[in-house]
Structure 1
Amino acid sequence: MAERRRGAALEKALLDAAWDELAERGYAGFTMDAVVRRAGTSPPVLYRRWPDRAALVRAAVVHALREQRLDVPDTGSLREDVLTLMREINATRVPFITAMSVHLAGYYQETGDAPLPDPLATGRNEALDVLFGRAAERGEIAPGRLTDRVRSLPFDLLRHEILTTFAPVPDHVLEEIVDTVFLPLVR
């Protein structure tokens, strides 16, 4: 007899099952019943935590992004830190980014909400705080110029390139984003 899951272990199992369902069937084929079956639990267990499929999908996306969080590089240079992080995203996240965009297209149509969560929910803001905090301490940037949009700009442009081509972005494009668009804005 399997041990009964509770608390964080149960929630992780439910979110893993939800993410697997989403990745396999997309939002259009995603059902709460399928998640219940995949997780080996009962509907009340699932509905106690998430009232509907949109709420569960958002939670599963946040969970997947947290599980796949990358380490913050510390190369001693803002340029190299941003490029290192972009290269890691480029090397490891292209399938994830493209799958999310394809599988979540129906989410926005149904809910009117963006399927990608606020960066605070996934820990991305904290990682960028560390990266840009180090750069400010080294005197490489003017902290007052780091608006939320400017902070996310190189990563937004990377995501745009990936979603335009559905392929990894050439390194010279990453360098162009950092050198000609991003760094002039923060110095």
Structure 2
Amino acid sequence: MPERRRGAALEKALLDAAWEELTANGYARFTMDAVVQRAGTSPPVLYRRWSDRDELVRATIAHVLERARVDVPDTGSLREDILTLMRTINATRVQLVTVMNVHLAGYYQETGTVPSDLFATERENTADVIFDRAVGRGEIEPDHLSERIKSLPFDLLRHEILVTFAPVPDPVLEEIVDTVFLPLVR
């Protein structure tokens, strides 16, 4: 008889099962019952934690983002910090970006949210640290940093991933940073 899961171990198992369900079947076929089946538990166990599908999806995305958290690079250069972060995202998050944008399209329509609503806090914290350091080093002027410009390299990376469903070649990452992004902030 398998050991009974409790507390954090049970919650992790439920959220892992929810993520597996989302990646396997997309949001359109994502149900609380499917997660219960995949987790090998009972409906009350799941519903005690999340009352509906929307709450469970949000908790699942937060869980996956926390698990996939990346360290803020500190290379001493804005160019290298941005490239290092983009390379890390490129190497570790192609599936996450794809699922967040493609498999959850129905979720965004149903709830009126967009992918950036779920990624925003994490991106802002990481990018803000990088940009604050670059301003402190005198590499860029803070008045050149609108929210759109700060998100630009990551938006272009996401676009490339969604066009190919594959990691982006390094020369493309360098082109995004060197030809598009850096001229805007210098």
**TM-score band, normalised by the shorter chain?**
0.7 to 0.9
Q: How does 1:155-170 map onto structure 2 within 5 Å?
A: 155-170=154-169
Q: How does 1:47-66 map onto structure 2 within 5 Å?
A: 47-66=47-66
Q: Aligned partner of 1:58: which letter?
A: R
Q: Aligned partner of 1:54: which letter?
A: D
Alpha-carbon distance, 1:54 to partner:
2.1
Alpha-carbon distance, 1:186 to partner:
2.0
Alpha-carbon distance, 1:18 to partner:
0.8
8 Å contact from structure 1 (residues 22, 103) kept in 2: yes
- The match for 2:174 is 175
Alpha-carbon distance, 1:161 to partner:
1.2
In structure 2, relative to structure 1, the CA distance for the partners of 1:77 and 1:169 (3 Å cut) is same
In structure 1, runs of 5+ residues without a counterpart are none
- The match for 2:110 is 110
In structure 2, relative to structure 1, the CA distance for the partners of 1:101 and 1:71 (3 Å cut) is same
Deviations 1:44-99 (A, max 9, x none): 33223322112211221121122111222121110011011112222232233223
- How far apart in 1 are the matches of 2:13 and 2:51? 17
Alpha-carbon distance, 1:16 to partner:
1.3
- The match for 1:145 is 144
Q: Aligned partner of 1:180: which letter?
A: T
- How far apart in 2 are the matches of 1:115 and 1:81? 24
Alpha-carbon distance, 1:34 to partner:
1.8
Aligned residues: 184
- The match for 1:84 is 84
- The match for 1:128 is 127
* TM-score (normalizing by structure 2): 0.86
Q: What is the DSSP-based 3-state SS (H/G/I as helix, E as strand, rest coil) of the residue aligned with 1:139?
A: coil
- How far apart in 2 are the matches of 1:124 and 1:15? 22
- How far apart in 2 are the matches of 1:60 and 1:171? 30
- How far apart in 1 are the matches of 2:60 and 2:46? 12
- How far apart in 2 are the matches of 1:126 and 1:151? 12
- How far apart in 2 are the matches of 1:24 and 1:118? 21
- How far apart in 1 are the matches of 2:148 and 2:12? 32
In structure 2, relative to structure 1, the CA distance for the partners of 1:115 and 1:84 (3 Å cut) is closer
- How far apart in 2 are the matches of 1:42 and 1:115? 30
- How far apart in 1 are the matches of 2:179 and 2:115? 30
* TM-score (normalizing by structure 1): 0.86
Q: CA RMSD in A?
A: 2.0
Alpha-carbon distance, 1:174 to partner:
1.5
8 Å contact from structure 1 (residues 107, 115) kept in 2: no
Q: What is the DSSP-based 3-state SS (H/G/I as helix, E as strand, rest coil) of the residue aligned with 1:69?
A: coil
